[in-house]
Structures are given as C-alpha cells and as structure tokens.
A and B are shown apart, each in its own frame.
Chain A
C-alpha cells in the first residue's frame, strides 16, 4: 500500500464554519506534512509532524490547526477561514523526513465562501 488517502476530495465552507480535513497512510512513514497549493503555483509547506510531534509550523495563521492522533493519521482543523484560503490542500508523508521523496495524497479542493 503506497497510498496517502485524503478526505474529503472537495469541501465548500462558509467563513463561520468549522471543518476538518483528514489524511491517512499505512506505509509506516513517520513524517507527515500539510501543503497548500494555489492554482498555477507550487505547493507551499504549512506543517510537518515527525514521530507524531509538530516539527515545523511555517507561520500559518491559527485558523488552521493541525493534529496528529497517531502515526497513520493527520488532521487539519479549519475555523473562521477567509476566501483567500481557498486552495488545494495536500497531505504528504515520508519515511523519516530526511532528504527523501514525499508521497502525496490527491488533495482536498477547498472553497471558502
């Protein structure tokens, strides 16, 4: 199993809503990532969890709240988002995080109204 599974695939939410994005992998990877990608732009790193601990927060606004309940799961909790937060949110994982390839999920296309 070399997949990173993300749900939901599409999400539309209002600025007052609370929603969560979910990500799962069963490759035994110990590093998990959240990226944000706008159209015609490269993916931008948001958060990194290493061995279930938050290692990197790229100065992401607090309306985005990551959570890593266990080594296979990664969540991104969303609250009071702005329309400019509309983007493709990508989850990725890698074995250890040290100079290696990332496996990406297919993403959640988020629209904030």
Chain B
C-alpha cells in the first residue's frame, strides 16, 4: 500500500513549458517532503524539500507548492529544458528519523 500517491506516471512537455507533478498523502504525521530527480542508471539526487510550515518553496526553476489541508504537494518545473528529462520521485517522512515513503515516480520528457 503506497503511502504517497504520485501522478502523472509520465509527462511530455515542450522546451520552455511548465512541468507539474502532483503527490498526495494520508498520514498527517508526515512533516518532511523532499523531491528527488533520477537519471537512468544513476541514484536519486535531492532536488528540493519542504516542511508543512510553509506553503511554497522556490529554488531556481523548481518550486514546491504545499497544501496541508488537502494533504497534497506538487513540483513545478518552470522553463523546462531537455536536461530536465528524468524521473522525479516525491517522498514523505515523519520526524527527524523517519523512513522515506516514496511515490511511484513520474517520467518527464522535455522535447526540444
């Protein structure tokens, strides 16, 4: 039973467009929400993370929006580039020592 539900499964976006990936969770104890980017044959790399005390966090072209009441959070990739083509995983954990619960992943393809 997946504790974090991620959608869509795959996404094709044109260069310069906005990629949006959504995640939803049920466990209200979750208090840490990271996003990871993974290229084929490589390990996941931490992209950006947010805690429930803020509704939005931006780092460069990547923005996390967080809706605590709806128990949803999303990743927005602005001005998408072909180099952003990768699989993106959302995750959630509770407490400083909790295990990460991963979403199923979203394969993003940015066309030139």
Is the pairing of A and B real?
A: no
Residue ranges of B at the interface with A (Cβ–Cβ < 8 Å): none
